[in-house]
Amino acid sequence: MTEIAQRARLFVGSYAGLFGLLAIRFDTRWLRFTCIGLTVLGIGLMAHIVFWVAGRTTEAEPIQLTQVEDAGADVSGYLATYLLPFLTVAEPSVRDVAAYALFLVIAGLIYVRSEMTQINPTLYVLLRRVLKVSTNAGWSGYVVARSSLKPDDVIDVVPLNERVRVEVRKGVQKT
């Protein structure tokens, strides 16, 4: 899968909650079902990453952490985009739908072309945390962690992309 496709997948996953809210808000039938579909797809993609790719198919590697920082604050800022559903009307006109779609396209472009890929509220819904870490051998990035981590912990991870890795269960050694 190309980097762009990977990021697009993360984007859809990260906005799964937003699509869910839109589904609740919209009365228009086709819009509601479209948003429900996107919600299910987004959650499914994230669940696939967290429970399938990370755990079963990809070879894990050990890393030792030297710095750990919670990226939760960044996630909170990201949640501001979730206000969109509360600005919508229940039965939007064609122009309203075009405006919402344009907003999502712009948000998607920014997401795919920036470092926002690691900010993903849906991962928190799946009981994961996003931590900003550095390793003893010089890598810095984000780890989708199963629990809180601290410096000197050795964890097994699988790569999601260059900047994001997912912690896997087996072989966790904590100091």
Partner 1 sequence: MTTSITVTVPADNDRLTLVVAQPGSTRLRGFRLALDKNVAAALREACGTTVREISVRSEVTYAADVSYDVATQYLAVPAALLATPEPLPAGTDARQPAGHRDATTVETDPEARAILNAGSSLELLGATELRKRAFRFYAAIVGNDPNNRTSFVSRWNPYRASFAGRILTVYGEQLHRVTQPLLVFEPTFDMIVTSEGIAVLDKDAFEQIFRDITTMRNRVPVWTKQVVESLPLTEESAEMIRQASGKARVAQRLRALFEGGTLAGRKLSVSQLRDEMTNQGLAVERMIQGQQLVLTEDDVPTILKLLDEGYWKGWLTDVAWEAGSKSKRQS
Contacting residues toward partner 1, per CB under 8 A: 2-3, 56-64, 135-139, 154, 156-159, 161-162, 170-171, 173
Q: Please state, in angstroms and rounded to a whole number, the distance separating the CA atoms of residues 83 and 74.
A: 16
Of residues 119 and 168, the one with the C-beta less far from partner 1: 168
Of residues 75 and 156, the one with the C-beta less far from partner 1: 156
- Give the gyration radius of the chain's Cα atoms: 18
Min dist CB 25 to partner 1, Å, is 38
Min dist CB 64 to partner 1, Å, is 5
Min dist CB 157 to partner 1, Å, is 8
DSSP string, 107-139: HHHHHHHSGGGG--HHHHHTT-EEEEEEETTS-
Min dist CB 131 to partner 1, Å, is 16
Of residues 22 and 155, the one with the C-beta less far from partner 1: 155
Q: Please state, in angstroms and rounded to a whole number, the distance separating the CA atoms of residues 92 and 26.
A: 8
**Among candidate residues 165, 161, 111, the one with its CA nearest the CA of residue 133:** 165
Of residues 60 and 144, the one with the C-beta less far from partner 1: 60
- Alpha-carbon torsion angle 43, 47, 48, 51, nearest 10: 180
**Among candidate residues 56, 69, 64, 50, the one with its CA nearest the CA of residue 9:** 50
Q: Please state, in angstroms and rounded to a whole number, the distance separating the CA atoms of residues 7 and 123.
A: 15
Of residues 93 and 140, the one with the C-beta less far from partner 1: 140
Min dist CB 172 to partner 1, Å, is 10
Is the separation of the CB atoms in 50 and 123 below 8 Å?
yes
